[in-house]
Amino acid sequence: MFRTKADKDRFIFALAFVGVLVFISICMLVASIKNGYDYENNSRMFESVGDLAFLNELITDENIKDNNIKDISCEDSKLVKIKYDNYEICIFAYDFSTVEECKKFCEILQEVLKNDFKGDFKRVTFHEITRSAILKALANHGAVNMDLVDAQQARRVLDRLVGYRISPLLWSRVAKGSSAGRVQSVALRLIVERERAINAFVPEEYWVFKLKLVSASGVEFIAKLARIDGKTFKINNAEDAAKALDSVLNNRACRIDSIEKLRKYRNAPAPFTTSTLQQTANQVLRFSASGTMRVAQSLYEGVELGSRGAVGLITYMRTDSVNIAAEARSAAADFIRSEYGEEFIPAKPNYFKSKSGAQEAHEAIRPTDVTRTPESLKEFLDSSQLKLYTLIWKRFVASQMTRAEIAQLNVSVLVDGADSREFDFRASASSVVFPGYMKVLGAPQAVEGENEEDSAVDGSGALAKLNEKEDCRIADALKEQKFTEPPPRFTEATL
């Protein structure tokens, strides 16, 4: 690797020098953060955060019981001034997430108040803004999770170690003032790796075969070649494709080998999280991710509903949780029962599991009042707001409904080829037996998606008229050349 010993020594010295610089940088960052300073602007962290809206109440057990909530006043949106005379407990209540837990709100404010305030500092967490959830949180207060605080400080260090290397590159290549860190760098790597895969992709030729068949009873249907001699096949040139089709057309026998009837079920989808809302809005409404969040923000902050004033129509839209408040689930069941019938309510309420690693600081995205249907809000919402609210409302209502029941019919047609090979052509059809959640979402594409990829899909109902072992004749044949495609580039939603 090294031509001379001097080259090796220079390399070791350079490596050691870089290691020392990195070590010193980390020490400086950790020290500055541990002292409560923001490394970038050398100002106190709690001062740079702004209005500490997450600090809710200074209350005693008696005040909790009497619902006597003490007001909080802010001065210049920098420090929260709290009147804590005659109070015994200081309760901190803000988002239950690594980001908010680690802001050091509690740690710093305890330092500020400890000389004068002689009571206890407590931490409460709740995942939903409902009366029962808040009262339960107040009755089960705990302490600040310092593990999350430390985790965030490590993340801040990582942001700077990565960001200070990448941001200057953006300044020279993209735009002044741009910034990037651990999130943007990973996203960039995903994009680059996908682009490299696209550039390295070599298309492969393959052929698709379909037959238009007529049964002995006169039923016409389309079938697609799925197997040859009971195995998956790969025909990648025109010569082999021509031989296969010639063998099929000059067959010795063609008959319906089997008819399979299945019942399949599709469970109701989970309510939206931030990412699934952005993806669905992009696919269905053609909204960008930023556009989706902008419209969702307006729905969350409130819309003027005539004499009712400004009303928030959806819950907080930045969430990774699919959990639903008990009150909302009960209200949804009552609404579904009155609007669609008892049969659309599942025997047990639908519960959904969030992805591993989800912080679940908030509920899933849902309407604040399920009885506010999109139709009832048409006159108050603009077109974008109405489209997004309709998407959220339908998804939430559907998530609390029964599963859909689908009948699927699979037909296998065997053709004894002239070259002694056995060609298995298949056709399938689906029909909705009970719509369940589809009563609200209405998803015909989802039903079609139940069919196998190697089957021809029939939507005419002809397959139901066929009989097993019935002879068929070939009315027409089609062979089509295709090529495999590279992985698609990321869209804003898929990224």
170 pLDDT more than 60: yes
431-441 pLDDT tens trace:
899 999 999 99
Read off the pLDDT band of 302 (50, 70, 90).
Answer: confident
**How confident is residue 238, by pLDDT bands cut at 50, 70 and 90?**
very high
What does the alpha-carbon distance between residue 306 and residue 442 come to, in Å, rounded to a whole number? 31
What angle in degrees, to the nearest 10, is found between the helix axes of 383-399 and 289-301?
Answer: 80
Q: What is the pLDDT of residue 128?
A: 63
pLDDT tier for residue 68 given thresholds of 50, 70 and 90:
very low
Q: State yes or no: pLDDT of 468 exceeds 90.
A: yes
Average pLDDT over residues 398-414: 94
| 42 against 23, higher pLDDT | 23
Angle at 353 between CA 350 and CA 355, to 5 degrees: 150
pLDDT (0 to 100) of residue 175: 81
pLDDT of residue 143: 77
For residues 252-271, average pLDDT: 93
Q: Please provide the DSSP assignment of 79-126 as one string.
A: EEE---TT--EEEEE--SSHHHHTT-HHHHHHHHHTTT--SEEEEE--
Write out pLDDT tens, residues 7-33.
666 666 666 655 655 665 555 555 444
Per-residue pLDDT, 33: 45
At residue 114, does pLDDT exceed 90? Answer: no
**pLDDT score of 331 more than 90:** yes
User: Could you give the angle at the alpha carbon of 144 between the alpha carbons of 146 and 115, nearest 5°?
Assistant: 105
Helix (H) or strand (E) holding 225: strand 220-228
pLDDT of residue 266 exceeding 60? yes
- What's residue 348's pLDDT? 92
Active-site hit among 39, 94, 300, 316: 316
pLDDT for residue 364 is more than 70: yes
Residue 393, pLDDT above cutoff 90: yes
What is the pTM for the complete model shown? 0.70
pLDDT(488) > 80: yes
What's residue 83's pLDDT?
A: 45
pLDDT above 90 for 97: no
Task: Determine the average pLDDT of the residues in 237-264.
Answer: 93
Structure tokens at 52: 């500490």
Residue 418: which pLDDT band, with cuts at 50, 70 and 90? very high
Average pLDDT, the chain: 78
Give the whole-angstrom CA distance, residue 90 versus residue 116: 12
Reported confidence tier of residue 52, pLDDT bands at 50, 70, 90: very low
- Is pLDDT larger for residue 452 or for residue 139? 139
Which residues are CB-contacts of 327 (< 8 A; sequence separation ≥ 6)?
Answer: 130, 132
CA–CA distance, 123 with 94 (Å, rounded to integer): 9
**Is the confidence at residue 90, as pLDDT, over 80?**
no
Closest CA to 341 of 405, 265, 436, 264: 436
Dihedral sign for Cα 110, 114, 117, 123, please: positive
Confidence band, pLDDT 50/70/90 cuts, at residue 37: very low
Residue 329 confidence (pLDDT) = 92
Residue 453 confidence (pLDDT) above 70: no
How, if at all, do strands 422-434 and 220-228 pair? antiparallel
Q: Who has greater pLDDT, 306 or 436?
A: 436
Amino acid at 116: D
The reported pLDDT for the residue numbered 71 is: 36
Nearest Cα residue to 377 out of 366, 365, 389, 368: 389
Residue 361 has pLDDT above 70, yes or no: no
pLDDT band at residue 146 using 50, 70 and 90 as cut-offs: confident
pLDDT per residue as tens digits for the range 174-214: 888 777 777 778 888 899 999 999 999 999 999 999 999 99
Q: Is 316 one of the catalytic residues?
A: yes
Q: What is the mean pLDDT of residues 221-234?
A: 93
Percent of the chain scoring above 90 in pLDDT: 45
